[in-house]
A = this chain, B = another copy of it.
Amino acid sequence: MSTGLFLGRFQPFHNGHLEVIRCMAGQVDKLVIAIGSAQESHTPEDPFTAGERHLMISESLDAAGINNYHLIPIVDINRYSVWVAHVRSLVPPFEIIFTNNDLTARLFAEAGIEVRRTELYDRERFSGKIVRRTIAAGGDWKSLVPAGTAGVIGMIDGEKRIRELAGEKQ
């Protein structure tokens, strides 16, 4: 049985994430989806709590018929030398890491994990930053995210939160 790991901040979970996950979930028996920077929320770059992001992702994947995954929050540990050990202790055993980040690739490769590069899906249209800006500007953000994400943002009045945070000069 093969297991792969995919790390993201998912602020918020968007259509690009969904397509990448659909692809990875087809390559392994189980995909571990790690919600990074789990301790962050209520900032312009990280507006949603880990719990809110968890719900966005699980609702969206369920609706998409993807169900061979584990979904796990990971709080940051700002020491790269112990970061791989930190991640490994919190998630089920895995032997593949999917990433496009060179540092992540290097750290996991040094620990003997197989690294596979991911293709980003239409990065011009789909990124967390673009979604957050579109929400702040009152644009058509719902076309950028799965219905599961839109539902959670609606439930918690996330549009208002993002607009207020965007107005912040911290």
Interfacial residues, chain A to chain B (CB-CB below 8 A): 38-43, 49-52, 54-55, 58, 70-73, 75, 77-82, 84-86, 88-93, 101-103, 106-107, 155-156, 161, 164-165, 167-168, 170
Contact = CB atoms under 8 A, between A and B. Distances in A.
Contacts of A92: 51-52, 54-55, 58
Given A54-B72, A58-B70, A73-B72, A41 B106 contact: no
Copies in the complex: 6
Contact of A73 (B43, B90, B156): B90
Contacts of A102: 164-165, 167-168
A73 B73 contact: yes
A75 B75 contact: yes
A53 B132 CA distance: 35
Contact of A42 (B39, B50, B106, B155): B106
